[in-house]
Amino acid sequence: MTNSDISDQHGSYAGHTSAADRWPAVSFEDRMGTVEFRIAPDAHIVVDSDVCRSCTTRACVMACPANLFAPTADGGILFNYEECFECGTCYLVCNGEGAITWNYPEGGHGVVLRKS
């Protein structure tokens, strides 16, 4: 009998339970309901709207999983750091040099995930 046979028959490998057995499926909305945001007095992400005005893609608006970026009528971008997941997606997709400055929140602040 091979290791894959054991896994197929028992749902585990060498006595270990699978992730699905240990952690039940939880929707994104339910998982985010277990998140606490400890808001720092200073933003950990700063968006330079002057740089954003020349952007043609607005990738941060589409990519942010928390929908925290909003285009303004004058071509700039508004950003609300208070409910940021700290995933860094905005920083990775931004093509404007210096448009987004991203740092980890100062100690004791930011998103706190709790197992529910």
* pTM as predicted: 0.66
Domains of the chain: 1-27 (no CATH), 36-104 (3.30.70.20)
Radius of gyration of the chain measured on its C-alpha atoms: 20
pLDDT at 116: 52
Please give the Cα distance from 64 to 54 (Å, whole number).
19
The whole-number average pLDDT for the span 59-68 is 93
The whole-number average pLDDT for the span 82-96 is 89
Please give the Cα distance from 27 to 11 (Å, whole number).
23
Please give the Cα distance from 74 to 50 (Å, whole number).
10
pLDDT at 15: 64
| pLDDT tens per residue across span 15-44 | 666 766 777 788 877 877 788 888 988 889
> How big is the CA angle at 42 (ends 53 and 102), to the nearest 5 degrees?
50
